[in-house]
Amino acid sequence: MSEDAADTFKIEIEGWEGPLDLLLALARNQKVDLRQISILELVEQYLGFVNQARALQLELAADYLVMAAWLAFLKSALLLPRNPEETPGPEELALRLQLRLERLNAMREAGARLVARDRMGRDVFPRGSPEGLRVVRQARWEAEIFDLIAAYGRISARTRPMMHVVAHRDVMTLEEAIERVSDLVGKRVDWSVIESFLPADAGDLYRKSALASSFVAVLELARQGKVELRQKSAFAPLYVRMLP
Amino acid sequence: MSGVEDLARAVEAVLFAAEHPLGIEELRAHVGAQADVRAALRTLEQLYAGRGIELVRRGDQWHFQTAADLAHLLRRDREDSRKLSRAGVETLAIIAYHEPVTRAEIEAIRGVQISKGTIDVLMEAGWVRPAGRREVPGRPLTYATTSAFLSHFGLASRRDLPGIDDLRAAGLLDPVDLAVEQETSETVTQDE
Amino acid sequence: MSGVEDLARAVEAVLFAAEHPLGIEELRAHVGAQADVRAALRTLEQLYAGRGIELVRRGDQWHFQTAADLAHLLRRDREDSRKLSRAGVETLAIIAYHEPVTRAEIEAIRGVQISKGTIDVLMEAGWVRPAGRREVPGRPLTYATTSAFLSHFGLASRRDLPGIDDLRAAGLLDPVDLAVEQETSETVTQDE
């Protein structure tokens, strides 16, 4: 049924909402439990109703007519000798109609009970301006002893190189080296390799430090024009001589 | 004042301030974990019986609301909720008692197509929501009711829907096909 | 029920459902123009005296509110258990092993700055407390663990912290001067 047709029909026949609705209204007129209604009687009433509407030249929506045709078929099937080949049989068709009516009726009554309840905002009202309840969340912090120890181990591992303390370490400062080289170079007349200016009794680490500082020292002295340097090639021995 | 009366005062204040119905555990969270909240609620029920405000139990939740017989005093400055059409009421009932339910299933029960606006009106009222698609050909949308539906109609849960247990027991919430199967099999059994 | 009591019920319901305090005229608009609303309010005042809900007059307007002495019930504390962050655990470990220790020292040991909230969280948890100021320039605050720390981690004393002796023997717990640490670590790197 199209909406237009539905609208027309509502206006013309007291707003039946479809053929099933009309059938239910007729069935209830039988004033018996829907399980006990006479389907034949119901069919007669429906067909009578449709004929009456036609006589009054009311425009019936298509699905009312489809239902009328189906009910006419059902009626003849119920009345004529049964054809066992035919499935579903007329009794089952009648049962289906009765079950559908029961279900529609159940929902109609349920709806009526539902809307008749005391409805919030219509029949009963909550407090207009409740203060409200507040939940104050507090964190309960969790950590396990294992996490703590693992964390400390992790930090220790991460910072281990940083934690080495070099208790004592001999270094020759640049000032020391300049003084030492200036002093020694003046006592020599010819070219001397730079290693010859290092202290003879130096340990390995101190010797490295002394070499590095002495190298910078001779560069500084050369810059000042006090010594000259000679080296044949990279990594070849470095010679130092006092400038006249 | 006795302990029970002190507790009743406390429960009264908490329920009064609450924005939603509260259960026993929620009440205990406010008034004390060991409190005999049920005894306090009984005291309050008696205290409020017949008054303009009533203590109401919905399922296992409690709240205060105005007495239903005073609705006429309260409605005056409120927008009258639009009256639901008959189609609307039936459709709402079918959704509530059968959810989740497709439009085709609603139409099968009502024996008529439902016009476009009927479900829209129910959704606009906040009582009905789409509830996913049914995994059958065409994947039709299903509908279900909302918590706003429950609270508007004063229901604690769908189990409180009027008569739902009887309807289910009578098979009236089963589809016709299933009911036919059962009826015919019963008939067969009777025949034997 | 008498007329006054009926009226009291009506006023009770109207005040309960109202979103604002109401004056006499507003109440009359709901319960009846001729009604002796003041008498009804007096009845209600007596009825609610000492209860969890009170009828309160503000100027010439009336409303219900929860009794002031029960306000504390309207809030409740909820504990959410939360896991300490990695920074939090590391900071706590450093404080536990080195206490009393300043923030700068913690950062030196971790090798990473600690955000402001990290120590706050540890103090909120009740595991760390301020432990006086160090008498050096800037007088930085030092931190130490609490007895709650010990009991949470199942320790009788800080000496029970596993491995503390081994770590000390390895020289890992020696106080390290920041400046020296920088220089020596650089020298070491050059040597290697």
Cα separation of A22 and A52, whole Å? Answer: 14
Q: Is the pTM of this model over 0.80?
A: no
How confident is the model over B175-183, as a mean pLDDT? 84
In this prediction, residue A166 carries a pLDDT of 56
The mean pLDDT value of chain B amounts to: 88
What pLDDT was estimated at residue C76? 78
Residue B89 has pLDDT above 80, yes or no: yes
Q: What is the pLDDT of residue B46?
A: 93
Q: What is the pLDDT of residue C169?
A: 60
Which of A89, A116, A143 is the endpoint of a domain? A116
Are residues A181 and A108 located together in one domain of the fold?
A: no
Mean pLDDT of A3-7: 43
Which subunits sit against A, judged by 3+ Cβ pairs under 8 A? B, C
Banded model confidence at residue B82, pLDDT cuts 50, 70, 90: low
pLDDT value of position C117: 87
In this predicted structure, what is the pLDDT of residue B22?
A: 93
A232: CATH? 1.10.10.580
Q: What is the mean pLDDT of residues B171-177?
A: 90
Whole-number percent of chain A with pLDDT over 70? 89
Q: What is the pLDDT of residues C90-121, one digit of tens each?
A: 999 999 988 899 999 999 888 888 888 899 99
Among candidates C76, C172, C184 on the partner chain, residue whose Cβ is nearest the Cβ of A156: C172
Same domain? For A30 and A112 the reply is yes
Q: A15-19, A157-161, B173-177: which has the highest mean pLDDT?
A: B173-177
Instruction: Output the CA torsion A106→A108→A113→A117 (10° steps).
Output: 140
The more confident residue out of A221 and A138 is A221
- Please give the pLDDT value at position C152: 86
Residue C152 neighbours by CB under 8 Å, 6+ apart: A143, C127
Model pLDDT, residue A84: 75
Q: What is d(CA C64, CA A131) in angstroms, rounded to the nearest whole number?
A: 10
pLDDT of residue B79: 52
CB pair distance less than 8 Å for C53 and B16: yes
Sign of CA dihedral C7, C12, C13, C17: positive
Chain B residues closer than 8 Å to A95 by CB: 180, 183-184
Question: Hey, is C175 helix, strand or coil?
Answer: coil
Is A107 within the bounds of a domain? yes
pLDDT digits (tens, 9 = 90+) for B39-52: 999 999 999 999 99
The reported pLDDT for the residue numbered C83 is 87
> Tens of pLDDT along B123-133?
998 999 999 99
Residue A140 lies in a domain: no
* pLDDT in the model for residue A15: 66
- What pLDDT sits at residue B63? 93
Encode pLDDT of A142-164 as tens digits: 888 777 877 887 787 676 554 55
Taking the CA of residue A112 and the nearest CA in chain B, the distance in Å comes to 7
Rounded average pLDDT per 10-residue block, chain C, 192 residues: 81 93 92 89 93 90 91 81 88 91 90 86 91 90 92 83 62 46 41 36
What DSSP assignment string belongs to chain A?
--HHHHHHHHHHTTT--SHHHHHHHHHHHT-S-GGG--HHHHHHHHHHHHHHHHHTT----HHHHHHHHHHHHHHHHHHSPP-TTSSS-HHHHHHHHHHHHHHHHHHHHHHHHHHTS--BTTTB---SS----EEEEEEEEE--HHHHHHHHHHHHHHHHHHH----------HHHHHHHHHHHHTT--S-EEGGGGS-TT--HHHHHHHHHHHHHHHHHHHHTTSEEEE-SSTTSPPEEEE--
- DSSP for chain B, please give it: --HHHHHHHHHHHHHHH-SS-EEHHHHHHHH-TT--HHHHHHHHHHHHTTSSEEEEEETTEEEEEE-GGGHHHHSTTSPPPPPPPHHHHHHHHHHHHH-SEEHHHHHHHHTSPPPHHHHHHHHHTTSEEEEEE-SSTT--EEEEE-HHHHHHTT-SSGGGSTTHHHHHHTTTTS-HHHHHHHHHHHHHHHH-
Q: What pLDDT does A165 receive?
A: 52
Nearest CA in chain A to B172: A103
Structural domains in chain A (count): 2
Cβ separation of A133 and C18 shorter than 8 Å? no
In a domain, A12, yes or no: no
Residue scoring higher pLDDT (B74 or C174):
B74
Q: Is the pLDDT of residue B155 over 60?
A: yes
The residues of A whose Cβ lies within 8 A of any Cβ of C are 125-129, 131-145, 147-149, 151-156, 158-166, 169
8 Å CB contact of B68 and A118: yes
- Burial zone of A7 (CB within 10 Å; 0-12 exposed, 13-18 middle, 19+ buried): middle
Task: Give the C-alpha separation, C64 to C57, whole Å.
Answer: 9
d(CA B152, CA B67): 15
Domain containing residue A197: 174-242
pLDDT of residue A6: 42
Same domain? For A23 and A106 the reply is yes
Full set of structural domains in chain C with CATH: 3-70 (1.10.10.10), 86-161 (1.10.10.10)
Q: Is A150 within the bounds of a domain?
A: no
For residue C12, what are the CA distances in angstroms to B49, C35, C37, C40, C62?
Answer: 13, 14, 11, 9, 10
